[in-house]
Amino acid sequence: MSLNMLLPLLLGLLLLAACDNRSSVVDGSSANATSRPAAPDADTGDVEWRQHGLNAAETRFSPLRDINSDNIATLGLDWHFDYPTARGMEATPLIVDGVIYTTASWSMVFAHDARSGELLWLHDPQVPREWAVHLCCDVVNRGVAYADGKIVSGTLDGRLIALDADSGKLLWEVQTTDRNRPYSITGAPRIVKGRVIIGNGGSELGVRGYVSAYKLDSGDMAWRFYTVPGNPEDGFENQAMEVAAETWKGGPWWEIGGGGTVWDSMAYDPELDLLYIGVGNGAPWNAKIRSPGGGDNLYLSSIIALDPDDGSYVWHYQTTPGDSWDYTATQHMILADLDINGRQRKVIMQAPKNGFFYVLDRRTGELLSAEPYAGVTWATHIDLDTGRPVESAGARYEKNSTGLHLPGPIGAHNWHPMSYNPDTGLVYIPKQDVPYVFANDTEFAYRPGYWNTGTDALPAALPDDPETKAAVLDLVKGAIVAWDPVAAAPRWEIQHAGPWNGGVLSTAGNLLFQGNSGGHFAAYRADNGAELWRFDAQTGVMAAPVTYRLDGIQYVAVVAGWGGALALVGGEALKAGPIPNRSRLLVFRLGADKQLPTQTTTPLVLDPPELTASAAELLDGQRNYLTFCVFCHGDGAVSGGATPDLRAMTAETHQRWDSIVRGGSHWQNGMVGFAGVLDQQQSENIRQYVIERARITLDSN
Ligand code: HEC
């Protein structure tokens, strides 16, 4: 599609967005504020953060209020620790018995004294660096689980490891995946009734999703639940798979795998004894290629309730039937008891990628409400009677319609944790609007181990025409939405410079903490969103903060370090601008005033060589760039800061291009060689495309 064809589509979308005003919000100042925070806690006992989401319900709301909206001005840095890695940091630390356990990139695990920051031990699982090519979204890890003196953690190459919490000594290690498929683990395990529950990722690279349970004491597998059916000729593992297979038509989806990976969220209700898992998108994204005969494709994009004892199916709710847009339902899930229409309900809440905020009865999966919390073009609404979305005309690009869609595959909300604050009654959602042009890939061919979306990436690249580009970028936004789950409506928003901001924490001190893509860690009033405090972290902060109290001192801790999916692929859509990765743990308390070392950032110098390629060679270069490189080096070769900006390569790097790109000479740092899929001419065409991007940047400045 040519660029001037994009403009009318874009205007059409803007109109659509204007009509769909359901997610407009009221001004923060008129929010029905709860009053001032209560006086500091009279109780001064230790309060830790011993589970990923703070508790089994995963509320991420701390009852601590020693630090509160009245005294936050004196919050300062108490200590920090710089990690030896320089890629995306997404972990929620745990604080157990005075020790803070966290992970850095490449699945490394660190233990520090939670008062002083002293490093107690570290475990490097030695992930082969070439595994990076099997990852959609950076070499990240979202944290560990703790129980019975053991720290359990997943690795990028699919291992689950148990370490002695005191010494860091390896107790057991199991391979949870088939190493011949591009599986990965980035999510935090959960421990339920003596079993470690772990999922995996890799859908668009070609895998079949599942979640497994391993015995905490031995590492032996207890059960496994697949989320999508395998080849029917091999028989089904259970009745849930037999039911699911009815909704997949005209295979062979099992060759690519079908997707449905459980790569992040889980929650557990001890009273109902139900384990909830969030299930991901289809592989490939394009439903027509995956299941040519149509169908819902269970259990893609679903929340599933399982029996934690044997992993058997209890109920499911599918947020996006027949998903074609990478609309995962792997986003954070929170359990709460809410008064809805005069009835006390046990609910589970999720803001999946598809832009609707869902409240379900968590005993049965009954849908209670689903309203848009962000810009949505793919569906007009969710029908509460049928529980199904009513899709917009033209949403199904696989039928050869095309246009700009919201949300894009990065989601209106990604993995960044939310928080449910019972004092304000609000769920805080780190939301974003990042549109995307989905287009049918009419020449799809399965490439094992590489990206297999079934969409044509060319129309999705940000156009060069200044007017169209400005109009697209105008749609890109990032915010915190304060969502009232009882009223099923937003109360207020905090606007950010751009998308891909951090996970959130709220506290009984009327505080809401969040880091952002602009390099700050900030605190807001939980009742109305007014900003109270900010700290320059010198790097983007994506991970969710935690808080704890030891010896009567309340601390706030956050893992900082720019990276992750949109930081790598976003290009100019990262409106806060490029920012370096500085991977560190930051810990704050009242009255502290330590400083981070001052940093200088070197500006990009663009000095590209001559462009010699023909238009056809440039197009070939762009296509292959979008197929193999964009996920790490950014749309239009514009880096978000966490990987090298290819436009700024030195003459020497241009010289060595082919040995880096095909030969893999930088593989130790996660830059694998592409000799298996690119010939020398194709590699050279990509280089020419990168030169063109540098020249266009110079010309537009
Ligand atoms: C899985 C992520 C990933 C993918 C995919 C990827 N790269 Fe890289 N690339 C990196 C990282 C990380 C570095 C930095 C390596 C280092 O620091 O030594 C890098 C470095 C480079 C460099 C050296 C840049 C410099 O200034 O030193 C070049 C050239 C390069 N990549 C080209 C490509 C091309 C072309 C593709 C697609 C065919 C590609 N890369 C795909 C992650 C990736």
Give me the average pLDDT of each 10-residue run along the chain (701 residues): 38 37 33 48 89 98 98 98 96 98 98 98 96 92 98 98 98 98 98 98 96 98 98 97 97 94 98 98 96 97 98 98 98 98 97 98 98 98 98 93 92 98 98 97 92 93 94 97 98 98 98 98 98 98 98 98 96 93 98 95 92 98 96 96 96 97 94 94 98 96 79
d(CA 463, CA 183): 33
Atom 9, ligand 1: which residue's CA is nearest?
671
Atom 10, ligand 1: which residue's CA is nearest?
671
Atom 36, ligand 1: which residue's CA is nearest?
629
Q: Which of 408, 418, 263 is nearest to 330 (CA)?
A: 263
How far apart are the CA of 405 and the centre of ligand 1, in A?
29
Atom 30, ligand 1: which residue's CA is nearest?
661
Residues 585, 112: contact at Cβ < 8 Å?
A: yes
Residues 346, 270: contact at Cβ < 8 Å?
A: no
Atom 39, ligand 1: which residue's CA is nearest?
629
Residues 188, 155: contact at Cβ < 8 Å?
A: no
d(CA 373, CA 79): 37
Atom 17, ligand 1: which residue's CA is nearest?
669
- Shortest-distance atom of ligand 1 to CA 132: 1
How far apart are the CA of 544 and the centre of ligand 1, in A?
28
Q: What angle do CA 5, 11, 13 make, to 5 degrees?
A: 105
CA 375 to chain centre: 18
How far apart are the CA of 256 and the centre of ligand 1, in A?
26
Polymer length of the chain: 701
Q: CA distances (Å), 138 to each of 541, 561, 633, 669, in order?
A: 15, 12, 11, 12
State which of 205, 671, 681, 682 you would mutate to test the pocket of ligand 1, scoring each by most atoms of that ligand within 8 A of its C-beta.
671
How far apart are the CA of 590 and the centre of ligand 1, in A?
42
d(CA 461, CA 624): 13
With 0-12 / 13-18 / 19 or more C-beta atoms within 10 angstroms meaning exposed / middle / buried, residue 655 is: exposed
With 0-12 / 13-18 / 19 or more C-beta atoms within 10 angstroms meaning exposed / middle / buried, residue 484 is: middle
Residues 159, 697: contact at Cβ < 8 Å?
A: no
Give the tokens for residue 622: 């762009």
Residues 225, 275: contact at Cβ < 8 Å?
A: no
Collect all residues with Cβ–Cβ distance below 8 Å to 500 and sequence separation of at least 6.
Answer: 410, 414, 432, 478, 517, 540, 542, 564, 566, 567, 570, 574
With 0-12 / 13-18 / 19 or more C-beta atoms within 10 angstroms meaning exposed / middle / buried, residue 635 is: buried
d(CA 245, CA 203): 18
What phi and psi values does residue 403 have, to the nearest 5 degrees?
155, 175
d(CA 289, CA 249): 10
Collect all residues with Cβ–Cβ distance below 8 Å to 353 and sequence separation of at least 6.
Answer: 326, 327, 328, 329, 331, 407, 409, 410, 411, 412, 413, 414
How far apart are the CA of 633 and the centre of ligand 1, in A?
7
Atom 6, ligand 1: which residue's CA is nearest?
629
Residues 458, 438: contact at Cβ < 8 Å?
A: no
Q: CB under 6 Å to ligand 1: residues?
A: 132-133, 628-629, 631-633, 643-644, 646, 649, 653, 657, 660-661, 666, 669-671, 674, 686
State which of 130, 133, 562, 632 you would mutate to test the pocket of ligand 1, scoring each by most atoms of that ligand within 8 A of its C-beta.
632
Sign of CA dihedral 67, 73, 74, 76: positive
How far apart are the CA of 671 and the centre of ligand 1, in A?
5
Q: Which of 380, 368, 225 is nearest to 306 (CA)?
A: 225
How far apart are the CA of 29 and the centre of ligand 1, in A?
46
Atom 31, ligand 1: which residue's CA is nearest?
671
* Terminal alpha carbon distance of the chain: 27
d(CA 521, CA 538): 10
How far apart are the CA of 370 and the centre of ligand 1, in A?
41
- Shortest-distance atom of ligand 1 to CA 668: 18
d(CA 186, CA 506): 24
d(CA 417, CA 413): 9
Atom 40, ligand 1: which residue's CA is nearest?
629
Sign of CA dihedral 617, 622, 623, 627: positive
Atom 43, ligand 1: which residue's CA is nearest?
671
CA 16 to chain centre: 27
pLDDT score for 36: 52
With 0-12 / 13-18 / 19 or more C-beta atoms within 10 angstroms meaning exposed / middle / buried, residue 24 is: exposed
How far apart are the CA of 647 and the centre of ligand 1, in A?
12
Residues 582, 73: contact at Cβ < 8 Å?
A: no
d(CA 630, CA 617): 18
- Shortest-distance atom of ligand 1 to CA 629: 37
Give the tokens for residue 608: 């590209």
Q: Which of 545, 477, 554 is nearest to 515 (CA)?
A: 545
d(CA 282, CA 247): 13
How far apart are the CA of 325 and the centre of ligand 1, in A?
27
d(CA 395, CA 418): 28
- Shortest-distance atom of ligand 1 to CA 656: 29
Q: CA distances (Å), 548 to each of 95, 519, 529, 554, 593, in order?
A: 7, 23, 22, 6, 19
d(CA 48, CA 63): 11
d(CA 592, CA 139): 33
CA 126 to chain centre: 24
Residues 563, 578: contact at Cβ < 8 Å?
A: no
State which of 127, 625, 633 you would mutate to test the pocket of ligand 1, scoring each by most atoms of that ligand within 8 A of its C-beta.
633
Residues 88, 140: contact at Cβ < 8 Å?
A: yes
How far apart are the CA of 86 and the centre of ligand 1, in A?
14
pLDDT score for 239: 98
How far apart are the CA of 644 and the centre of ligand 1, in A?
7
Atom 2, ligand 1: which residue's CA is nearest?
632
How far apart are the CA of 685 and the centre of ligand 1, in A?
16
Atom 26, ligand 1: which residue's CA is nearest?
649
How far apart are the CA of 579 and the centre of ligand 1, in A?
17
Atom 29, ligand 1: which residue's CA is nearest?
657
How far apart are the CA of 349 and the centre of ligand 1, in A?
39
How far apart are the CA of 698 and the centre of ligand 1, in A?
22
Q: Which of 204, 184, 188, 208 is nearest to 196 (CA)?
A: 188
Q: Which of 188, 74, 97 is nearest to 149 (CA)?
A: 97
Q: Which amino acid is at 252?
A: P
- Shortest-distance atom of ligand 1 to CA 670: 12
Q: CA distances (Å), 598 to each of 387, 556, 592, 601, in order?
A: 53, 22, 18, 10
d(CA 216, CA 162): 8
